[in-house]
A and B are shown apart, each in its own frame.
Chain A
Amino acid sequence: MAAVNTIIELEETQKYFPVTSGAILKKVTGQVKAVDGVSFKINEGETYSLVGESGCGKSTTAKMVLQVEKPTGGVIRFNGNDMNSFTREQRREYRASIQAVFQDPWSSLNPRMKVGNIIMEPLLANQEVPKGEIKERTEQLLRDVGLHSFQADYYPHEFSGGQRQRIAIARALSLQPKVIVLDEPVSALDVSIRAQIMNLLKQLQDQYGVSYLLIAHQLATVRYMSHHVGVMYLGKMVEEGLTKKVFDNPRHPYTRALIEASLPAHPDSQREGFMLEGEVPSPLNPPQGCSFHPRCPKPTKECAEGSMEMGLIEVEEGHRVDRCCVNCG
Chain B
Amino acid sequence: MAQTPVLQVNNLKTHFFTRSGVVKAVDGVDFTLNAGETLGIVGESGSGKSMTALSIMGLVPQPAGKIVEGEILFNGDDLVKKTQAELQQIRGRDICMILQDPMTSLNPVFSVGNQVIETVKQSLAQTGETLKERAIELLHKVKIAAPESRIENFPHQMSGGMRQRVVGAIAIAGSPQILIADEATTSLDATIQYQYLELLKELQRDTGMAIIFITHDMGVVAKMCDRVAVMYAGKVAEIADVRDIFNNPQHPYTEALMKSVPNVEEDVEMLYAIEGQPPALDNLPAGCTFAPRCQYAFDKCEVQFPDIVQIGDDSNRHTATCWKLSEN
Q: Which residues of A contact B (CB under 8 A)?
A: 17, 19, 21, 51-55, 59, 103-104, 106-107, 143, 146-148, 150-151, 153-154, 157-163, 166, 183-184, 187-196, 198-199, 217-221, 223-224, 244, 257-259, 261-270, 274, 276, 279-282, 284-285
| CB of B95 within 8 Å of the partner chain | no
C-alpha spacing A223/B264, complex, angstroms: 7
A199, chain B: closest CB distance, angstroms: 6
A187-B264 in contact given A55-B145, A160-B45, A195-B273 (Cβ < 8 Å): no
C-alpha spacing A281/B123, complex, angstroms: 29
Segment of B81-89, B124-132, B191-199, B303-311 in the binding face = B191-199
- B183, A161: Cβ atoms closer than 8 Å: yes
* Interface-centre pick from B43, B242, B243, B271 (highest chain A CB count, 10 A): B271
**B190's closest neighbor in chain A, by CB?**
A261
C-alpha spacing A143/B247, complex, angstroms: 33
C-alpha spacing A189/B183, complex, angstroms: 10
Contacts of A198 in B (CB 8 A): 271
C-alpha spacing A161/B231, complex, angstroms: 15
Which 4 A-B residue pairs are closest in the complex by CB-CB distance?
A263-B219, A54-B161, A162-B45, A282-B146
Contacts A147-B277, A188-B45, A220-B263 aside, 14 further interface pairs with beta carbons under 8 A come to: A54-B188, A146-B278, A157-B61, A158-B18, A160-B45, A189-B45, A190-B42, A190-B216, A190-B257, A191-B260, A217-B188, A262-B264, A282-B145, A284-B150
A-B contact pairs, 7 of them (CB 8 A): A52-B189, A190-B44, A192-B274, A193-B273, A194-B216, A261-B190, A264-B219
**A51's closest neighbor in chain B, by CB?**
B189
Number of interface residues of B (CB under 8 A): 71
- B46, A280: Cβ atoms closer than 8 Å: no
A161 is contacted by which of B44, B100, B247, B277 (Cβ under 8 Å)? Answer: B100
- A217, B190: Cβ atoms closer than 8 Å: yes
- B146, A161: Cβ atoms closer than 8 Å: no
**B271's closest neighbor in chain A, by CB?**
A195
- B220, A274: Cβ atoms closer than 8 Å: no
In chain B between 177 and 218, which residues have their CB closer than 8 angstroms to a CB of chain A? 183, 186-195, 198, 216-218
C-alpha spacing A262/B247, complex, angstroms: 21
* Interface-centre pick from A17, A21, A224 (highest chain B CB count, 10 A): A224
- A261, B145: Cβ atoms closer than 8 Å: no
- A196, B273: Cβ atoms closer than 8 Å: yes
- A104, B192: Cβ atoms closer than 8 Å: no
* Interface-centre pick from A106, A107, A160, A199 (highest chain B CB count, 10 A): A160
- B46, A54: Cβ atoms closer than 8 Å: no
Q: Which residues of B contact A (CB under 8 A)?
A: 16, 18, 20, 23, 42-46, 49-50, 61, 100-104, 143-146, 149-150, 152, 157-162, 165, 183, 186-195, 198, 216-220, 222-223, 242-243, 246-247, 256-257, 260-264, 267-268, 270-274, 277-278, 280
- B223, A263: Cβ atoms closer than 8 Å: yes
- B246, A191: Cβ atoms closer than 8 Å: no
* Interface-centre pick from A52, A217, A219, A281 (highest chain B CB count, 10 A): A217
C-alpha spacing A266/B267, complex, angstroms: 19
**A200's closest neighbor in chain B, by CB?**
B273
C-alpha spacing A159/B100, complex, angstroms: 13
* Interface-centre pick from B23, B158, B216 (highest chain A CB count, 10 A): B216
**B223's closest neighbor in chain A, by CB?**
A263
C-alpha spacing A224/B149, complex, angstroms: 38
C-alpha spacing A59/B164, complex, angstroms: 15
- B271, A224: Cβ atoms closer than 8 Å: yes
- A103, B192: Cβ atoms closer than 8 Å: no
Contacts of B257 in A (CB 8 A): 190-192
C-alpha spacing A194/B262, complex, angstroms: 10
A55-B162 in contact given A103-B187, A160-B50, A261-B193 (Cβ < 8 Å): yes
Contacts of A244 in B (CB 8 A): 267
C-alpha spacing A80/B272, complex, angstroms: 38
- B190, A263: Cβ atoms closer than 8 Å: yes
- A285, B246: Cβ atoms closer than 8 Å: no
Contacts of B218 in A (CB 8 A): 191, 265-266
- A274, B187: Cβ atoms closer than 8 Å: no
- A53, B191: Cβ atoms closer than 8 Å: yes
C-alpha spacing A187/B190, complex, angstroms: 13
A190 is contacted by which of B43, B192, B222, B263 (Cβ under 8 Å)? Answer: B43
A106 is contacted by which of B20, B101, B270 (Cβ under 8 Å)? Answer: B101
C-alpha spacing A276/B193, complex, angstroms: 12
- A274, B198: Cβ atoms closer than 8 Å: yes
A284 is contacted by which of B102, B149, B187 (Cβ under 8 Å)? Answer: B149
C-alpha spacing A199/B49, complex, angstroms: 25
A270-B223 in contact given A194-B216, A265-B261 (Cβ < 8 Å): yes
C-alpha spacing A261/B197, complex, angstroms: 12
